[in-house]
Structure 1
Amino acid sequence: MSTPAPQVRETIPALERQSKKRLSWSSYPSWFFAPAIILYVVFFALPTFSSFYFSLTRWSLFESTFIGFGNFVQFFKNPQLYTAFVHTFIYAVITSGAKVILGFLIALLLTSPIIGRSYLRAVVFFPVLLSTIGVGILFKSLLDPFHGIVNALLGIFGLPQPGWFTNPDLALYSIAGVDIWKGVGIATLIFMAGIVAIPTEYFEAARIDGATSGQLLRSITIPLARNASATVIILSLIGGLRSFDIIWATTGGGPGFTSDVLASVIYKQYQAGFFGLSTAGNVVLFLVVTAIMVPLSYFLNRRQVEL
């Protein structure tokens, strides 16, 4: 086989360098990300920054008047605000904690060799596909204290028939239960992906060394599913802090203000025509969620790196 001439040997590297340079300066990668960037700017960045401005104004559909921090001062004078904050954190902790625990346990079951595993996976994930408003209306009918099927069945067996959404002591927790039923499927799916991604060689080696099922769970499954756990915690906690639609569809924040959360208080101000005030409330909610999730995300990601 003949070797290239000296001129050819010098030309080939030069052509390769020019080709790499053209490729590196190609506009293709920028245009590839352009649709996502446009959607992000139009539907998130622009409304977010606009809300910061409008929170400092008294505005209507056609005009706005700059009033500084007046909306925020008035917002924090709301007598229901403290209760709404407490309810928001209680609701977020209950729903996110239950989704993490139940999602992980169900994922363990659905990744084990059981009969009808594919069918059970579909059943668990099905509520995720339903409209949140539709789920709220459905459970409002099912849990009706006088005509609901649930209380009718409890009455047959002689059990108490509580007012799930009408009892001030039960309303918030009943809504949380509906939210858990609706959202545990996505937590289960994320955990299943994390568990399935664990190499089977780890389990096989541990079984050869005589490890029990409990030891496999504690030493392999839980540590190596930490990425999935962090994802579920972050997503479910954000959803709990921002939750509104299922609360509004079931109780509207009632009875009284016993199931009001921060988002429902903001919506009531919007209903009353205080648009600037409700915008200020949305900014407060955004800052609260950010203040909680940024350090939590940093902590969970740091733990993953250390692992």
Structure 2
Amino acid sequence: MTANPILLALAPIFFVILAGYGAGRLRIVENHHVDGLNALVMIFALPASLFVATASAPRKEMLDQAPLFLILALVMLLVQLAWYFFVRASSDVSKADAALQALTISFPNLAGVGLPIAAAVVGPDGVVPVAVALAAGSIIISPLSLVLVELDTGNPKEELATGSPGKVWTAFLRSVTKPVVLAPTVGILYSLAGWELLSLAKASLMLVGVAAPGVALFLTGLILSSQPFRLNWSVVAATGLADIGRPILTAVVVFTLPISTETAKIAILLSAIPSGFFGILFAVNYRLNSASTGSMVIASTLFSIVTLATVIALLF
């Protein structure tokens, strides 16, 4: 019983990643210049998908998800800060690379793995919690990482304002105005306003939004095909923190708060999802080395077969 949902969810994911990896290794698709595919995912497909998922949720259902939003945002933020300061103190990794590693470890692969897992385990009602979790990461975790990246890398075409406050404000504006951050924010506000998303708008946006998980996973495999897999202490530690530490921390938080059992179970399940691909895509966007981040995604996804099976068996 517990093996089927994991197999049905993870097998297609590995298939698409391997398809992208094979396409890159065999030179069917260029794997060193992926700006076009990256733009398709981060500017069009994923923002459209996030907006529809959040804007389509009824107002009451969105309000009911407030505890889940706060719990997952807190857990992801704690994991993000813990890894960032740990890796900065224990290695010579740059601030930008540390920020993207922290983003990868703290923000689960909710779009690629979370949706099929939630649909298989929870059913149709699992879509909205995944969208809320995506919104929490996109609104809080991604902007913080992007601010740190912006402060470290700067912009060659436009210098940041002199002085620390000016740099932070400019970096913050650049991060929060990215489509992948704006889309879920606007979607949540749209839902809370009680407005109903027009069928025509939903169908139009989902025509491109439905491609987000598949193209993102294919792009992940394509990028990974251009770099070696490196299994070292940081990859092992990152995998342990993401696949074991994150769900355990979530369990500690939910069992100390007066929330419903169903919310607690979903929060732990979503926290057990392996590391996401945002760090890889942002690394490509900022022309940063994504080898370590890619290795963390691969190791976390492989190990999650064990951890997800354990969480599902214990809770569902």
Same fold (TM over 0.5): no
> Which structure has the highest helix share of the two?
2
Which is higher, the Rg of structure 1 or of structure 2? Answer: 1
Q: TM-score, normalization: structure 1?
A: 0.29
Ranked by relative contact order (alpha carbons within 8 Å, sequence separation 6 or more), the top structure is 2
